[in-house]
Structure 1
Amino acid sequence: MSAMRTIQDVPVLMCDPEGEPFRGEREVLDLIGDAGYQGARWVVVPAGRLEEPFFRLSTGVAGEIVQKFANYRLGLVVLGDISKHTASSTALRDFVRECNRSRQTWFVADEAELRERLGG
């Protein structure tokens, strides 16, 4: 289940923290279709809805998901604490840092940080 919200005058599709994980292309394309239909510019996915392979960059899952959002010109926000993943992976820390410099994909700790990013 997802809900549309407006944050800092930006239409955002907020995915429910509960539900099936986003494993790959099929689930992501359904989500992108839903977001586009509802007029969202950003989609917020709770970190808990992403499985372990997303956080292991060697699997290619994160790159595949991020690229799908970029292809459809939708922003992707991963919301929540991912420190247990970044603590053990320099590559993931670098990926998160690079993403957070972009206007396409962000990793944010909470809704307050999301509100601040969307306002800036």
Structure 2
Amino acid sequence: MRILTAKKNGVEIALVQSEGIILKDVQSALDLMATVRYETGCVHMVIHKSSVVEEFFDLKTRLAGEILQRFINYHMKIAIVGDFSVYSSQSLQDFIYECNKGRDVFFVLTEEEALKRLSQV
């Protein structure tokens, strides 16, 4: 895993890059948040969909809610970058829509869009 940083509109944002899955359960989310804060001091993070376990996108597992609640509780804003149109679940599409209306969690298609959304909050 590599963590780079970018600055947009005066906001420092961590760009988490990984060849494998790093966000797989609540503990891995907590570890990731701690690592990002320790190494960069950032409270805004971008991660790619390919670094997130596939069960996250099956809302019946409750994994997405449990993980994202930790991000909110620890005041860490996150943008997940990827193509989410591959999922046919209407409840997941509704979940993504509601998250994108908020100020803490975003599901976006590009890293540039992620930086834009995170720098506006």
- TM-score normalised to structure 1 length: 0.89
- Return 36-45 or 55-64, whichever deviates more: 36-45
Question: Which residue is 1:16 aligned to?
Answer: 17
Query: Structure 1: 5+ residue runs without aligned partners?
Result: none
Structural mapping, 1:1-120, within 5 Å: 1=1, 2-37=3-38, 38-85=40-87, 88-120=88-120
Give per-residue Cα distances to partners, 1:76-102, cap 9 Å, x unaligned: 1101112112xx100000000000011
Percent of aligned pairs with the same amino acid: 35
Task: State how many pairs are aligned.
Answer: 118
**Distance between the aligned counterparts of 1:114 and 1:28, measured in 2?**
19
CA contact (8 A) 1:13 1:42 kept: yes
**Distance between the aligned counterparts of 2:80 and 2:114, measured in 1?**
10
Give per-residue Cα distances to partners, 1:18-67, cap 9 Å, x unaligned: 23331111211111101222211211110111122100001011001101
Amino acid at match of 2:94: D
The CA RMSD over aligned residues, in Å, is: 1.5
**Distance between the aligned counterparts of 2:74 and 2:106, measured in 1?**
16
